Amino acid sequence: MSCTPGKRGRWGFALFLLLGALVLLTGCSHFVDRDQTALAPERAVILEPGQTVGQTFVARHGGLDGVEFWLEVLPGSAGVLRLHIQPEPQSSTDLALAELPLEAVASPGFYRFSFPPDNHSHSAYRYAFLELDGTGAVRVGAAPGEAYIHGAAYRDHEPLDAQLAFRLAYDPWGMALELGRERAFHPLYRYLCQHSHF
């Protein structure tokens, strides 16, 4: 037995309340996935002007609006780090751009590049790469290739046997929107519709 319009409406309303509670519980702050946080000092990748360093990944949720990389600015460096988000390494289309001044990288650690939410990012393959507009160099934290199974680190758009240290940030409303969009196709939703009696 399939859902009647009335049942769909009730389940849709219940799901809306659940998603609303999720957003309220997060306090409208960003949700950050610890996708690949391992660090191996010998695997660090050095980024200098005229080069690129990047990472492919699969976003776990809708509302992707930030990528955090582990960064260390080397002495004497100045300028701006620029992040490009593209569909794949062979693409020339930027889905998003973000910048971070090197002066904001006060000590080694994770730093976020923020951009408008991508409300279609759930399970989407993406390529994020950095370039340095300035002087000096930046060390980008990394780990061996097996540290993350859904992508790879890149230098000058060529894959490496390594994974950059990165975390992905999501907008809670974007996450809720994507979940709501998928509710009609979700197996649990279909099951509840077929076995509900109200």
The class that CATH gives domain 31-170 is mainly beta
Per-residue tens of pLDDT for the chain, all 198 residues: 445 555 555 655 555 555 555 555 445 556 677 889 999 999 999 999 999 999 999 999 999 999 999 999 999 999 999 999 999 999 999 999 999 999 999 999 999 999 999 988 999 999 999 999 999 999 999 999 999 999 999 999 999 999 999 999 999 875 666 665 555 445 544 444 454 443
With beta carbons less than 8 A apart as the criterion, state whether 58 and 169 touch. no
Whole-angstrom Cα distance, residue 63 to residue 182?
14
% of the chain with per-residue pLDDT over 90: 68
Number of separate helices (H) and strands (E) present in the chain: 3, 14
With beta carbons less than 8 A apart as the criterion, state whether 88 and 197 touch. no
> Tokens representing 186?
């979700």
pTM as predicted:
0.76
Whole-angstrom Cα distance, residue 105 to residue 190?
48
Q: Which pLDDT score is estimated for 32?
A: 76
Domain boundaries along the sequence of the chain: 1-30+171-198, 31-170
